Amino acid sequence: MTKLSVNINKIAVIRNSRGGNLPDVIGAALNIERFGSEGITVHPRPDGRHIRYDDVRELKKVLSTELNIEGNPIDSFTDLVMEVVPAQVTLVPDAANAITSNAGWNTIEHKAFLEEKVRLFKSAGIRVSVFVDPVVEMVQGAAAVGADRIELYTEAYAAGYEADREAAIAPYVAAAEEARKLDLEVNAGHDLNLDNLQYFIERIPWTAEVSIGHALISDALYLGLENTVQLYLRRAHNL
């Protein structure tokens, strides 16, 4: 069954816009767990514009489900991950000023760098996922650097879903099948929502985890946080 990990960055964006601690990011994460989420995802960036490094430290102390930390493994990020020791780290090649993640790794070009980081994180018992586009060669490269999982960057799937969902999902199925052949587990994330999530799971039922933040938190403004988490869980579990 596919697990749902809720990315809480957008909750931190609201808090940071006014200062103080409203909304309470840690309290929100605990509520999201209580509502059924099977993990919490955070993506701290060096400028601290949403989730901050101290948030990550506090979350590790109180969460009972899996903590997944995403980010570009620059030195400060690497140090944070090795200090906190989450269940999973997802390596994402985003620039410091990126609004959001917009591409997967070229796992061939960056093989030596990724091998070094994967080896380090795995030495601490952390599961390592590498963020990739749905390209078979990039999946093969992720296996070559020793990753445990890939996370498929699903923006293109989401963008093409309404026009032709079969064409949109096709490269993802091919990439996920290659991952399965290589004994890589498959995660997915970016622009997945209540409309397109269930079809993705139907076509790639061996997806281990989906990480969803922006759409889920946006839906919660209208539907309520508890109800929204439950709705996404039903899609993820293909119910």
Convert the pLDDT of each residue in 116-158 to its tens digit.
999 999 999 999 999 999 999 999 999 999 999 999 999 999 9
Q: Is 214 a catalytic residue?
A: no
Q: Is the pLDDT of residue 238 over 90?
A: no
Choose, from 33, 43, 50, 209, the residue flagged as catalytic. Answer: 43
Q: Is 90 in contact with 126 (CB distance < 8 Å)? A: no
pLDDT digits (tens, 9 = 90+) for 106-126: 999 999 999 999 999 999 999
| Spatial CA neighbour of 33 closest among 60, 3, 6, 2 | 6
Angle between helices 25-34 and 9-18 (to 10 degrees): 150
What is residue 99's predicted lDDT score, i.e. its pLDDT? 54
Q: Cis peptide leading into 86, omega within 30 of 0? A: no
- The single residue of 70, 178, 185, 209 carrying the catalytic annotation is 70
Domain of residue 110, CATH code: 3.20.20.70
Q: What is the pLDDT of residues 176-210, one digit of tens each?
A: 999 999 999 999 999 999 999 999 999 999 999 99
- Nearest CA to 126 out of 101, 148, 106, 108 is that of 148
- Return mean pLDDT, the chain: 96
What angle in degrees, to the nearest 10, is found between the helix axes of 75-84 and 111-123?
Answer: 20
Instruction: Say what the pLDDT of residue 101 is.
Output: 65
Query: Which percentage of the chain shows pLDDT scores above 70?
Result: 97
User: Is 190 a catalytic site residue?
Assistant: yes
Q: Which domain covers residue 180, as residue numbers?
A: 3-236
Given the residues 33, 50, 151, 190, select the one marked as catalytic.
190
- Check residue 47 and give its pLDDT: 87
Q: What is the mean pLDDT of residues 93-118?
A: 85
CB atoms within 10 A of CB 116: 13
Q: What is the mean pLDDT of residues 218-239?
A: 96
178 catalytic residue (yes or no): no
Q: What local confidence, expressed as pLDDT, does residue 97 receive?
A: 62
Give the pLDDT confidence of 16-56 residue by residue, as tens digits. Answer: 999 999 999 999 999 999 999 999 999 999 888 899 999 99
Evaluate if residue 98 carries a pLDDT over 80.
Answer: no
Question: Given this model, what pLDDT does residue 63 score?
Answer: 98
The predicted pLDDT at position 94 comes to: 80
In total, how many domains does the chain have? 1
